[in-house]
Amino acid sequence: MATDFARTATNLLKELKTHLEANDLGGSLGSVGGGSGYSGGDGGVLGGLLRDPGQALPQFKEEEVRRCLQEVAEHYESLVSILDAFRDQGVAWEGRPEVASSVLIHHQALLRNKRLLMAYQNMRLERVKAFRWKCGRLPRSTQEKLSSPEKDFVKRYEKMLAKYQKQAGVDLTVGFYPPSENMLKVRVVEDLGTMEFDYIGEADLQVGTVHLLPHEDAERLIIEGKLEHLAN
């Protein structure tokens, strides 16, 4: 018998909220349309990044979600058994307020659980999307924290974005601020091997080396933390 009235789901949501607030992506989430994505002006091109990208999203709580679903199932079973038991007696609802209230309570608890789970899932997906726009692709450590439907979502979202960007011919997730210079001076943080760029041709990007790279290519790599921007 489910006695705690959606307590599990509430805690699930509360935990997620606390975690996401503690690991803010910097700026408001709605910065896609040209908001304060990176606080231009204070230092590098890209300020306000997440300190630890592995913490951008907590682990999907499969066990808790399963428990909530079980609670929903229990409420449903009680509902059906009550309705079955009293339908045979053929009494009008008005005459049996104690049965009516019991049915309503079960039903409300069921709907409440649903709303909480939906909100939990929605909040996670919003974070995944915001992360894609502000910090690039999800790092491997975060990918492992997703449930398999979420992984599917990320895959499809990625595909959709790539397809649209190909049609439009630009990388939509960078360049919210007009660049002040054509080339960026960067230091390589993560070994990327040899890469091809416009204007300068191939560059050998080994850890610790300093390069002048075209703005639009470099910005993406800096956001993903593979290069470090050296401001003058």
Q: How far is the CB of 197 from another protein (least distance, A)?
A: 28
CB of 182 to another protein, least distance (A): 16
Output the DSSP codes for 9-71: HHHHHHHHHHHHHHT--SS-TTGGGTSSSS-TTSSSSS-S--S-GGGSSPPP-HHHHHHHHHH
Residue 50 Cβ, how far from another protein at the closest point, in Å? 18
Question: Per this entry, what is the length of the chain?
Answer: 232
Q: Tell the smallest beta-carbon distance from residue 202 to another protein (Å).
A: 34
> Exposed, middle or buried, 221 (CB in 10 Å: 0-12/13-18/19+)?
buried
Using the minimum distance from each CB to another protein, give the nearer residue, 1 or 231. Answer: 1
SS3 200: coil
Q: Is the CB of 98 or the CB of 196 nearer to another protein?
A: 98
Cα–Cα distances in Å, from 227 out to 194, 196, 203, 208? 14, 15, 13, 9
* Token duo for residue 19: 């975690």
Nearest distance, CB of residue 108 and another protein, angstroms: 5
Sites of contact with another protein (CB under 8 A): 1-3, 5, 10, 13-14, 17, 41, 78, 82, 96-102, 104-105, 108-109, 112, 115-116, 118-119, 122-123
For residue 14, the minimal CB distance to another protein (Å) is: 7
- The residue among 69 and 119 lying less far from another protein, judged by its C-beta, is 119
SS3 77: helix
Q: Give 32 or 82: the residue with its C-beta nearer to another protein.
A: 82
Q: Give the other-Cβ count within 10 Å of 7's Cβ.
A: 13
Q: How far is the CB of 192 from another protein (least distance, A)?
A: 34
Whole-angstrom Cα distance, residue 74 to residue 163?
44
Rounded Cα distance, 193 and 203, in Å = 8
Q: What angle do CA 134, 138, 144 make, to 5 degrees?
A: 150
Residue 112 or 215: the one with the smaller Cβ distance to another protein is 112
Closer residue to another protein (CB): 13 or 65: 13
The nearer residue to another protein, 118 or 160, going by C-beta atoms, is 118
